[in-house]
């Protein structure tokens, strides 16, 4: 069923994202398309209809295509998709968290680790995806804050959740009312430091992600 779902949805998604592109830029955007197809297949396996999953994917792809130039589509868009997956915990097994996706998330975490001069576990990305309680430490919290700030979920200086950005980005692949409800629940992410606030936001999302079930 998983492979059948991918084959059935492959052509329309690729046509949408590759329209008007060629060469290297087309290959870059195809990788974004690949990640989204895997997530969509997960939704189908979880009980969503093919039409609902296809509509969800098209909305995400249109959003990504419109918000970036052809030149920077790959890294900026795929980075957003990857961090959103980490945030929401959409992929709970390695089978649906692809090797490429895992590597992109790890590169982003590594960049934050280097930028902040911190040291986090080698399996940080996996632990973040699963909301592992061992991340309740200063180094991990600040790395999460750095990653969230880079995609606009939190303010880089204060760590305060950017409710409008969270609601807007999540609404691209989900019902608007659910995205708004989700953002409202976690908008007041409290903490003594910006890192504590980002970690609070991360925990809040994992506690309330059932809204999208």
Burial class (CB in 10 A: 0-12, 13-18, 19+), 30: middle
Phi, psi dihedral angles at 174 (to 5 degrees): -145, 165
Query: Distance between CA atoms of 206 and 203, rounded to whole angstroms?
Result: 5
Q: How confident is the model at residue 98 (pLDDT cuts 50, 70, 90)?
A: low
* CA 35 to centroid of chain Cα atoms: 10
What residue ranges of the chain are covered by domains with CATH 1.10.238.20?
A: 100-213
Enumerate the β-bridge partners of residue 161.
154
In this structure, what token pair is assigned to residue 35? 């990640």
Average the pLDDT over 107-121 and give the result.
89
Give pTM, 2 decimals: 0.61
Identify the CATH assignment for 100-213 out of 1.10.645.10, 2.102.10.10, 2.60.40.10, 1.10.238.20: 1.10.238.20
pLDDT, tens only, 168-213: 877 776 788 988 998 899 888 889 999 999 999 999 988 887 887 7
Q: How many residues does the chain have?
A: 213
Q: How confident is the model at residue 116 (pLDDT cuts 50, 70, 90)?
A: very high
Q: How confident is the model at residue 158 (pLDDT cuts 50, 70, 90)?
A: very high
Among 79, 32, 28, 41, CA closest to 60: 32
In this structure, what token pair is assigned to residue 120? 């986090």
């Amino acid at each position: 069923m998983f492979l059948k779902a991918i084959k059935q949805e492959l052509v329309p998604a690729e046509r949408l994202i590759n329209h008007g592109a060629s060469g290297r830029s087309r290959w870059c955007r195809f990788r974004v398309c690949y990640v989204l197809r895997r997530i969509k297949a997960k939704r189908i396996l979880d009980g969503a209809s093919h039409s609902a999953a296809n509509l969800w994917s098209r909305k995400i792809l249109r959003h990504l295509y419109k918000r970036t130039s052809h030149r920077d589509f790959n890294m900026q868009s795929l980075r957003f998709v990857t961090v959103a997956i980490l945030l929401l915990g959409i992929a709970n097994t390695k089978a649906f968290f692809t090797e490429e996706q895992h590597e992109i998330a790890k590169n982003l975490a590594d960049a934050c680790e280097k930028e902040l001069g911190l040291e986090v576990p080698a399996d940080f990305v996996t632990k973040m995806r699963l909301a592992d309680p061992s991340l309740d430490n200063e180094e991990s919290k600040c790395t999460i804050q750095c990653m969230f700030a880079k995609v606009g979920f939190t303010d880089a200086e204060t760590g305060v959740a950017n409710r409008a950005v969270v609601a807007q980005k999540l609404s691209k692949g989900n019902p608007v009312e659910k995205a708004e409800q989700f953002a409202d629940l976690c908008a007041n992410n409290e903490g003594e430091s910006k890192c504590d606030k980002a970690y609070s936001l991360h925990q809040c999302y994992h506690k309330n992600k059932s809204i999208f079930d």
